[in-house]
């Protein structure tokens, strides 16, 4: 009976005695609880339901929480198996001292409970303190009113407690199954069991290369269409499998081939390094693959986040180039009247007009084959042509272009048009291609739901004549849109004044009956985009942190296990005739190479992944490729730096063990 009383104390002591492995694990658990609690608190807060435009932010967070679950479970599982492996010997000793399996199971249960209580308490306390801060961060990122009061919800606590109880129960069952499966003798020699030589190294390595290349090919073939998410998940899956295969087989296979070259292998400077690397690669394949995958995740998540933040203005302007845009029919409202109304209203609310553009456009969907434009055909590529007059063009761009007869100015928002002439429904025009900044048609730089060309034609007569051409060719499927006038305005002033301006403008539009008139509310559009992208940003920041923490813990555990492994071989090598300095030098070189590999692979993965990110960014209408390249280069560089620092910090644990 007394034994049972002993167990709780033993459990707590077991955790404290193994502090080097348990403390980082508890910190990681606290952080996991913290992140989960933050998501949960924000999602369950009543405020989120009442704030205007918060729906998208809420949806993004919901998605984030869902993904978080899928990251946290395997992560906690991995960390936990490391702990169990490390402590096998201790468990074996307890068995010898007369503990039965049921006692061990209870001991494990108590330990799990101890860690669980500590991490849930820590995480929730930390979370309650910081939840408000993170909530403010979310509001700020989503441009939602910051005055909103954040309240502590018990439901979030309950949800967090239950979720982690489930996770802990899962890890406990896994550990308990381990206890029942192994014999005490095995437990005793547990952490020092020889590894089998992995078989099928070369085919395995080739398969790994194949799978990784397949992942890359999927990325390169991805187009911005409805299948993009399928390709995204497929390529992530392939890349993960490929990475595991590569780390398991390829490194070992390469070293094995090197080992066959005896004259090279049996040289003092190569021998220890190669054999050591061979052993390390064999043992640490999974750990290294994990490090590589988490590194890739950190780089890609942070790149997305940073690019999104830096490109927010561009995204907003892409969908809503003007804060208010009037679209009208010239029969009911003249350009002058529209501009006068906008100016008058902005004056009334004390707003300064920073830009006021008026233009008229007509668009036409056609088929394209090189420099030939014709009616839409099933099997031919399609494009959209926007027609404006040269005057409007000069007005929008602030340029001073002029045109000959039968000459058009062409600006492609996607890929370059690239021909000097255009055969437009049988008639030939000379083309002067330009690349300009025009608010209504922002530059995309690649195909985005078909090519778009803006054509500026000499004058109104020429434009009308040109748009009559499709009708003259029989059997062509091409009808130009109606000609509509547009007046867009950008304002400087306070948000309240802008809102009041918009309210009155909309009121005016509702009372307008003489013809067609619509108002596009850019202010509201910006809010919606901001809310959604703010939610994305928030997830990006928190996920970046979570991935980073996973990376740090995996790296630390890797260093620890390498340290335990090397303790023995160090003294042997010394006895056989290697000096301490020599050993330390080769070991340092091995460790550097071993830890440089995942970073290198992660950077290559990320570079390829950027092509996917480039496409994905198209979904939220972020088309600034140069910005993306800059951000990803910056993030990759910064990450490499942080990785090296992390390596330096965690390697202290290693050197502490071997010296």
Q: Which residues bind another protein (CB under 8 A)?
A: 193-194, 197, 262-263, 266-268, 271, 275-276, 278-279, 568-569, 571-579, 582
Q: Least distance to another protein from the beta carbon of 311, Å?
A: 50
C-beta of residue 82 within 8 angstroms of C-beta of residue 557: yes
C-beta of residue 75 within 8 angstroms of C-beta of residue 550: yes
Q: Least distance to another protein from the beta carbon of 155, Å?
A: 53
Structure tokens at 398: 């602030």
Which CB, 119 or 561, lies closer to another protein? 561
In Å, how far from its chain's centre is CA 509?
42
Which CB, 102 or 267, lies closer to another protein? 267
Q: What is the 3-state secondary structure (H, E, C) of 182-250?
A: CCHHHHHCHHHCCCCCCCCHHHHHHHHHHHHHHHHHHHHHCCCCCCHHHHHHHHHHHHHHHHHHHHHHH
Beta bridge partner(s), residue 526: none
Which CB, 202 or 376, lies closer to another protein? 202
Contacts of 516 (CB under 8 A, 6+ apart): 327, 328, 329, 332, 484
Scored b (16 or more CB within 10 A) or e, 159-182 reads bbbebbeebbeebbeebbebbeeb
Which CB, 506 or 580, lies closer to another protein? 580
Contacts of 399 (CB under 8 A, 6+ apart): 393, 436
C-beta of residue 527 within 8 angstroms of C-beta of residue 622: no
In Å, how far from its chain's centre is CA 491?
34
CA-nearest of 374, 381, 364 to 463 is 364
Which CB, 352 or 571, lies closer to another protein? 571
Q: Least distance to another protein from the beta carbon of 277, Å?
A: 10
Which CB, 248 or 452, lies closer to another protein? 248
Which CB, 339 or 582, lies closer to another protein? 582
In Å, how far from its chain's centre is CA 633?
15
Neighbours of 38 (CB within 10 A): 28
Q: Least distance to another protein from the beta carbon of 86, Å?
A: 18
Q: Least distance to another protein from the beta carbon of 573, Å?
A: 7
C-beta of residue 103 within 8 angstroms of C-beta of residue 7: yes
Structure tokens at 207: 């398969």
Q: Least distance to another protein from the beta carbon of 194, Å?
A: 3
Which 3 state secondary structure label does DSSP give 352? strand
10 Å CB burial of residue 634 (0-12, 13-18, 19+) is middle
Which CB, 151 or 571, lies closer to another protein? 571
Q: Least distance to another protein from the beta carbon of 594, Å?
A: 13
C-beta of residue 12 within 8 angstroms of C-beta of residue 114: yes
Query: At 109, phi and psi to the nearest 5?
Result: -60, -45
In Å, how far from its chain's centre is CA 177?
37
Q: Least distance to another protein from the beta carbon of 283, Å?
A: 9
Which CB, 223 or 267, lies closer to another protein? 267
C-beta of residue 114 within 8 angstroms of C-beta of residue 38: no
Q: Least distance to another protein from the beta carbon of 650, Å?
A: 22
**What is d(CA 305, CA 68) in angstroms, rounded to the nearest whole number?**
17
Q: Least distance to another protein from the beta carbon of 579, Å?
A: 4
**What is d(CA 324, CA 231) in angstroms, rounded to the nearest whole number?**
38
Scored b (16 or more CB within 10 A) or e, 560-573 reads bbbbebbeeebeeb
Which CB, 367 or 563, lies closer to another protein? 563
Q: Provide DSSP, 59-80.
A: HHHHHHHHHHHHHHHHHHHHHH
Which CB, 559 or 632, lies closer to another protein? 559
Which CB, 2 or 263, lies closer to another protein? 263
Which CB, 147 or 195, lies closer to another protein? 195
C-beta of residue 595 within 8 angstroms of C-beta of residue 415: no
**What is d(CA 628, CA 623) in angstroms, rounded to the nearest whole number?**
9
Query: At 417, phi and psi to the nearest 5?
Result: -75, -55
Q: Least distance to another protein from the beta carbon of 267, Å?
A: 7
**H/E stretch holding 492:** strand 484-492
**What is d(CA 136, CA 149) in angstroms, rounded to the nearest whole number?**
9
**Total residues belonging to the chain:** 659
Q: Least distance to another protein from the beta carbon of 596, Å?
A: 20
Which CB, 17 or 580, lies closer to another protein? 580
Q: Least distance to another protein from the beta carbon of 44, Å?
A: 53
Q: Least distance to another protein from the beta carbon of 263, Å?
A: 5
Q: Least distance to another protein from the beta carbon of 554, Å?
A: 22
Which CB, 280 or 316, lies closer to another protein? 280
**What is d(CA 493, CA 436) in angstroms, rounded to the nearest whole number?**
28
Q: What is the DSSP letter of 311?
A: T
What does each C-alpha distance from 233 to 59, 237, 250, 296 come to in angstroms? 20, 6, 24, 15
Q: Least distance to another protein from the beta carbon of 202, Å?
A: 18
**What is d(CA 67, CA 35) in angstroms, rounded to the nearest whole number?**
12
Which CB, 365 or 582, lies closer to another protein? 582
C-beta of residue 443 within 8 angstroms of C-beta of residue 325: no
């Amino acid at each position: 009976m007394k034994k049972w009383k002993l167990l709780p104390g033993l459990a707590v002591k077991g955790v404290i005695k193994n502090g080097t492995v348990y403390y980082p694990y508890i910190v990681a658990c606290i952080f996991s609880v913290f992140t989960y609690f933050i998501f949960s608190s924000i999602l369950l807060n009543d405020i989120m339901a009442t704030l205007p435009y918060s729906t998208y932010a809420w949806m993004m967070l919901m998605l984030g929480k869902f993904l978080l679950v899928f990251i946290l479970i395997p992560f906690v599982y991995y960390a936990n198996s490391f702990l169990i492996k490390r402590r096998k010997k201790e468990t074996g000793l307890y068995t010898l001292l007369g503990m039965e399996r049921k006692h061990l199971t209870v001991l494990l249960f108590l330990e799990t409970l101890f860690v669980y209580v500590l991490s849930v308490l820590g995480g929730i306390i930390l979370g309650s303190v910081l939840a408000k801060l993170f909530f403010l961060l979310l509001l700020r990122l989503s441009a939602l009113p910051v005055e909103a009061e954040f309240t502590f919800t018990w439901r979030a606590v309950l949800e967090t407690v239950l979720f982690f109880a489930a996770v802990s129960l899962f890890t406990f069952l896994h550990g308990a199954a381990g206890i029942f499966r192994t014999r005490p003798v095995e437990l005793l020699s547990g952490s020092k069991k020889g590894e089998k030589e992995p078989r099928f190294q070369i085919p395995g390595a080739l398969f790994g290369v194949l799978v990784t290349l397949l992942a890359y090919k999927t990325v390169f073939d991805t187009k911005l269409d409805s299948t993009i998410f399928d390709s995204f998940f497929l390529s992530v899956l392939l890349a993960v499998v490929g990475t595991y295969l590569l780390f398991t087989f390829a490194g070992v296979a390469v070293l094995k081939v090197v080992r066959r070259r005896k004259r090279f292998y049996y040289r003092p400077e190569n021998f220890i390094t190669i054999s050591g690397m061979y052993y390390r690669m064999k043992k640490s394949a999974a750990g290294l693959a994990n490090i590589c995958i988490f590194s890739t995740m950190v780089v890609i998540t942070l790149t997305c986040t940073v690019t999104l933040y830096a490109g927010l203005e561009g995204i907003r302007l892409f969908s809503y180039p003007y804060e208010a845009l009037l679209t009208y029919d010239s029969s009911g409202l003249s350009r002058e009247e529209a501009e006068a109304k906008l100016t008058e209203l902005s004056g009334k609310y004390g707003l300064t007009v920073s830009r006021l553009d008026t233009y008229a456009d007509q668009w036409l969907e056609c088929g394209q084959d090189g420099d030939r434009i014709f009616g839409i055909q099933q099997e031919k590529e399609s494009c959209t042509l926007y027609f404006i007059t040269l005057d409007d063009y000069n007005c929008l761009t602030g340029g001073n272009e002029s045109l000959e007869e039968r000459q058009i100015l062409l600006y492609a928002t996607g890929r370059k048009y690239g021909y000097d002439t255009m055969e437009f429904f049988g008639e030939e025009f000379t083309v002067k291609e330009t690349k300009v900044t025009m608010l209504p048609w922002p530059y995309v730089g690649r195909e985005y739901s078909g090519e778009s060309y803006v054509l500026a034609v000499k004058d109104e007569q020429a434009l009308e004549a040109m748009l009559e051409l499709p009708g003259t060719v029989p059997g062509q499927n091409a009808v130009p849109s109606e000609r509509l006038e547009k007046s867009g305005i950008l304002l400087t002033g306070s948000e309240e004044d802008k809102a009041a301006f918009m309210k009155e403008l909309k009121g005016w539009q509702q009372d307008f009956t003489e013809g067609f008139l619509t108002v596009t509310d850019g202010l509201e559009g910006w809010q919606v985009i901001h809310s959604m992208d703010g939610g994305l940003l928030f997830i990006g920041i928190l996920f970046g942190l979570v991935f980073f923490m996973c990376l740090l813990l995996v790296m630390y555990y890797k260093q620890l296990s390498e340290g335990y492994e090397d303790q023995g071989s160090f003294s042997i090598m010394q006895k056989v005739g290697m000096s301490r300095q020599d050993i330390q030098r080769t070991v340092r070189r091995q460790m550097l190479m071993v830890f440089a590999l995942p970073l290198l692979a992660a950077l290559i993965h990320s570079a390829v992944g950027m092509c996917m990110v480039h496409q994905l960014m198209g979904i939220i209408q972020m088309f600034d490729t140069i910005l993306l390249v800059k951000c990803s280069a910056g993030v990759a560089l910064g990450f490499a730096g942080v990785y090296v620092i992390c390596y330096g910090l965690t390697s202290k644990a290693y050197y502490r063990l071997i010296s």
